[in-house]
Amino acid sequence: MAEAIRIERDGDIAVIVIDNPPINAGSAEVRRGLLAAIETIGGDASIRGAVLIGAGKTFIAGSDLREFDRPLQEPQLPAVIAAIETCGKPVVAALHGAALGGGFELALGCDGRIALAGTVVGLPEVTLGIIPGAGGTQRLPRIVGIPAAIRMIASGERVPAAKALALDMVDAVVDGDLRPAAVAFARRLGHGKTRLRDCGVPVADDGEIAAASRDALKAGRNRPAVRAAVEAVGTAARLPIDEGLVRERAAFQDLRLSRDARALRHLFFAERESARHPDLAGAMRRTIERIGVIGAGTMGTGIAIAALDGGFQVVLVEADDAALERGARRIADHYASRVATGRLGEADAAGRRFRLTAGTDWAMLADVDLVIEAVFEDLAVKQEVFRRLDAVARPGAVLATNTSYLDVDAIAAATMRPQDVIGLHFFSPANAMRLVEVVRAAASAADALATGLAVSKRLGKLPILTGNAFGFIGNRIYAAYRRQCEFMIEEGAYPEQVDAVLESFGFAMGPFAVADLSGLDIAWRMRQARAATRDPQARYVTIPDRLCEVGRLGRKTGAGYYRYADGGKGRQPDPVVRDLIDRARAETGISPRSMDDDEIRRRALLAITNEAALLLAEGIALRAADVDLVLVNGYGFPRWEGGPVFLARESGQLALERDLDWLAGLSGPGFTRADPTPLLGHTPGRPVPSA
Ligand code: NAD
């Protein structure tokens, strides 16, 4: 195997090359090599200074997280940085690609930093439930000051090179060749060391520090890593750097093994594993340059924006002139608002809008490579759309449906080319939400699916492959969760109590507030459509139907599970709803009992766990950890809890079996109690335990 670190020479400057593909992760081997290289340089009188540079596409993009569940190997990063600081010669970090986490801490330990345009730097450790552990919280404030360092470190901000330059986080940004520029810079520094540890912390106003801390804690939901980050940065102003470094390291070591950190690492590895599909491995990807979107409603416009942002040519087709106009205006307004708020340059926005063609003529779809249909959720309408598409789309185009619940096989059957048909289930708002379920129908060709996954990635999304079943992974689990919450209000809880418990668990919104937001009538119509096939023995909660029958369809009608003042905002519990629920209980013969918060939380989460196990057993979800990715990225499940599968693994099989029996007993007829075994497989990123 090639050495991870090698020293090259450019006259009197040594160039230390970090070569640990694919992302030059700061592994134990890299740290060992760096330490040895620094010692060599310190002892070689013919060397005046050094440059640290990454081979390939990036500087050190982060630490090797596989190490983090065990004791860290020597030498640890602080020792490498200390060696740079004491080697007596200037060391310049030459940054390209990403210099994040430990990579940027290493750069902060150098005497100068020079970045290629387009580089991203930062200390995103809190997004993994930890804080920088190699001086990031002590050195960054010496450049940007305490309030800005709190904002950056507590949010895990990734800072583009231009902003980093403006804040002095890098000394120069170059457009052309990074290495010679860095070598020249090292030579200019001569023999002098310009260590951040020797700099003072810029004085800041106490009020400003307090405000930055308060905002950071609020935005970071007061999680342990965010609290520790605020505390550690604050230390930089009060204590000598060596003391600050010791405290920072101790906090880092504690957090590394904390529950939040383990949960967030689980999601990190789950995401990496979710991209691997052994049965699609050999599949070719079709070339996609032009994307057609059918339907310019809520989803169609969001998908069109995502595709424009992804660099594609987009053809947007509508049935209705007025709807087309509304959709085109929504897209224009979207870009105007990004320009107005400084999130996008004017020329860039104009370029994106220029790639959009919109109209009502289906012939426009004749030469697109991928079509994503987002028309009304009605099988007959969708089948008609696919019949027309079959006639107009070029051979080999991938035909995708954004259906939420409909049978993708039935949609594909409307064409003569079911092998080209897949589901691409985006979430609303489609330009912002990361999750996409890529649905495999019975006839979907491997290359069509591989293309769907690849395009989703190009749109910056997290694609999860799922089988074709009512609601796929996410909506089916969500339905089971909501059903369990309805059971609870039938038995004795009220919507506001259930919502409060689940919001304090970490969901952005409780299930009844979500129902009011999306509108109760969609689910009502779906229940009516499925009434004939419903198991008459199964438990059925009538409360949602009763709300719809009295015109309480959610926020849009000013009332649903709650009453809404002020034009739809500001939910308030409503005595009318309590009466309606009390009546429903009485008519069903249920005597209400009081329910404690713990029962509510456990039942709601177990309902998710149970459905996840069923989906795995049916082969709809392919990997247990995929379920966690779906819930965290599409349904507001709190990221720091790791997802239902992570939670299930934490409780272990025995406890889970007992809990699911309990849930089944409370849920009554029609509830299918799952075997939890498929949830308890190995954790991605960790070695598979041997038998
Ligand atoms: P919408 O009502 O906002 O938009 C649908 C649009 O399709 C309308 O503008 C309509 O004029 C147009 N349309 C209808 N028939 C057409 C045809 N034959 N040809 C061209 N255009 C036609 O609906 P939406 O919320 O955007 O949902 C669209 C699809 O996305 C549905 O299948 C829905 O289940 C799915 N979906 C919606 C959400 C969501 O939160 N809204 C989330 C995920 C998936």
The pLDDT score that the predictor gives to residue 681 is 78
Mean pLDDT across 221-236: 97
Residue 687: pLDDT above 50?
A: no
Please indicate whether residue 297, judged by its CB atom, sits closer than 6 Å to ligand 1.
yes
Cα 264 to averaged position of ligand 1 atoms, centre (Å): 34
In the block, which residue shows the tokens 């691997």? 276
Atom number in ligand 1 closest to CA 426: 43
Residue 344: pLDDT above 50?
A: yes
Could you give the CA distance from residue 597 to residue 21 in angstroms, rounded to a whole number?
A: 49
Q: 456 near 483, Cβ under 8 Å?
A: no
The pLDDT score that the predictor gives to residue 570 is 85
130-156 per-position pLDDT tens digit: 999 999 999 999 999 999 999 999 999
CATH domain 5-257 topology: 2-enoyl-CoA Hydratase; Chain A, domain 1 (3.90.226)
Task: List beta partners, residue 114.
Answer: 94, 172
Ligand 1 pocket, mutate which of 298, 372, 427, 514 (most atoms under 8 A from CB): 298
621-631 per-position pLDDT tens digit: 999 999 999 99
Could you give the CA distance from residue 264 to residue 621 in angstroms, rounded to a whole number?
A: 21
546-599 per-position pLDDT tens digit: 999 999 999 999 999 999 987 667 899 999 999 999 999 999 999 999 999 999
Residues 6 or more apart in contact with residue 206 via CB below 8 angstroms? none
Q: Which residue owns the Cα nearest ligand 1 atom 31?
A: 377
Q: Which residue owns the Cα nearest ligand 1 atom 36?
A: 404
Q: Which residue owns the Cα nearest ligand 1 atom 1?
A: 297
Atom number in ligand 1 closest to CA 324: 9
Atom number in ligand 1 closest to CA 323: 9
The pLDDT score that the predictor gives to residue 659 is 98
Please indicate whether residue 375, judged by its CB atom, sits closer than 6 Å to ligand 1.
yes
192-205 per-position pLDDT tens digit: 899 999 999 999 99
Q: Which residue owns the Cα nearest ligand 1 atom 40?
A: 428
Could you give the CA distance from residue 289 to residue 281 in angstroms, rounded to a whole number?
A: 22
Atom number in ligand 1 closest to CA 381: 18
Binned at pLDDT 50, 70 and 90, residue 2 comes out as: low
Of 77, 114, 122, 112, the closest CA to residue 95 belongs to 114
What does residue 355 show for φ and ψ, rounded to 5 degrees?
-80, 0
Cα 298 to averaged position of ligand 1 atoms, centre (Å): 7
CATH domain 475-689 topology: N-(1-d-carboxylethyl)-l-norvaline Dehydrogenase; domain 2 (1.10.1040)
Of 627, 658, 619, the closest CA to residue 266 belongs to 627
Q: Angle at which helices 259-274 and 224-238 pack, to 10 degrees?
A: 120
289 HSE (CA, 13 A, CB side) = 2
Atom number in ligand 1 closest to CA 518: 40
Task: List beta partners, residue 292.
Answer: 315, 371
Cα→Cα distances 188→12, 17, 182, Å = 12, 20, 10
Cα 374 to averaged position of ligand 1 atoms, centre (Å): 4
Ligand 1 pocket, mutate which of 293, 362, 372, 376 (most atoms under 8 A from CB): 376
The pLDDT score that the predictor gives to residue 191 is 74
Please indicate whether residue 374, judged by its CB atom, sits closer than 6 Å to ligand 1.
yes
* CATH architecture for segment(s) 288-468: 3-Layer(aba) Sandwich (3.40)
The pLDDT score that the predictor gives to residue 276 is 87
Residue-wise DSSP of 544-577 = HHHHHHTT--BGGGTBSSEEEEGGGEEEEE-HHH
Q: Which amino acid, residue 433?
A: M
Of 496, 666, 670, 499, the closest CA to residue 581 belongs to 496
Please indicate whether residue 378, judged by its CB atom, sits closer than 6 Å to ligand 1.
no
498-510 per-position pLDDT tens digit: 999 999 999 999 9
- From the candidates 3, 85, 105, 384, give the one annotated as an active-site residue: 105
Cα 678 to averaged position of ligand 1 atoms, centre (Å): 35
Per domain, the residue ranges of the chain are 5-257, 288-468, 475-689
Burial 249-283 (b: 16+ CB within 10 A, else e): bebbeebbebebbbbbbbbbbbbeebeebeebeeb
* Structure token digits, residue 47: 């060397």
Residues 6 or more apart in contact with residue 16 via CB below 8 angstroms? 5, 6, 7, 34, 37, 38, 41, 50, 51, 52, 53
Q: Which residue owns the Cα nearest ligand 1 atom 37?
A: 299
264-308 per-position pLDDT tens digit: 999 999 999 988 898 898 899 999 999 999 999 999 999 999 999
Of 449, 480, 37, the closest CA to residue 282 belongs to 449
Please indicate whether residue 385, judged by its CB atom, sits closer than 6 Å to ligand 1.
yes
What are the strands, taking DSSP E only, across 55-122? 91-95, 98-100, 112-116, 120-122
Could you give the CA distance from residue 563 to residue 576 in angstroms, rounded to a whole number?
A: 9
62-77 per-position pLDDT tens digit: 998 989 989 999 999 9
Does ipTM surpass 0.95 in this model?
yes
Whether 157 is catalytic is: no
The pLDDT score that the predictor gives to residue 530 is 86
- From the candidates 85, 125, 437, 496, give the one annotated as an active-site residue: 125
The pLDDT score that the predictor gives to residue 413 is 98
Cα 382 to averaged position of ligand 1 atoms, centre (Å): 10
Could you give the CA distance from residue 515 to residue 547 in angstroms, rounded to a whole number?
A: 12
CA gyration radius for the chain?
28
366-421 per-position pLDDT tens digit: 999 999 999 999 999 999 999 999 999 999 999 999 999 999 999 999 999 999 99
Sheet holding 421-426, edge to edge: 356-359, 313-317, 290-294, 370-373, 398-401, 421-426, 435-440, 462-467
Residue 613: pLDDT above 90?
A: yes
Residue 686: pLDDT above 70?
A: no
Mean pLDDT across 88-97: 97
Please indicate whether residue 428, judged by its CB atom, sits closer than 6 Å to ligand 1.
yes
Q: 414 near 379, Cβ under 8 Å?
A: no
Could you give the CA distance from residue 370 to residue 691 in angstroms, rounded to a whole number?
A: 46
Q: How many CB atoms lie within 10 A of CB 83?
A: 20
Cα 619 to averaged position of ligand 1 atoms, centre (Å): 28
Residue-wise DSSP of 390-423 = HHHSPTT-EEEE--SSS-HHHHHTTSS-GGGEEE
Whether 105 is catalytic is: yes
pTM: 0.93
What does residue 574 show for φ and ψ, rounded to 5 degrees?
-125, 125
| Host H or E run for residue 160 | strand 158-160
What does residue 52 show for φ and ψ, rounded to 5 degrees?
-105, 125
Could you give the CA distance from residue 114 to residue 172 in angstroms, rounded to a whole number?
A: 5
Residue 688: pLDDT above 70?
A: no
The pLDDT score that the predictor gives to residue 682 is 55
Could you give the CA distance from residue 341 to residue 88 in angstroms, rounded to a whole number?
A: 46
47-61 per-position pLDDT tens digit: 999 999 999 999 999
User: How much of the chain exceeds pLDDT 70, in percent?
Assistant: 98
Binned at pLDDT 50, 70 and 90, residue 163 comes out as: very high
Q: 539 near 669, Cβ under 8 Å?
A: yes
Atom number in ligand 1 closest to CA 384: 18
In the block, which residue shows the tokens 């954004």? 402
The pLDDT score that the predictor gives to residue 689 is 38
Q: Which residue owns the Cα nearest ligand 1 atom 30?
A: 374
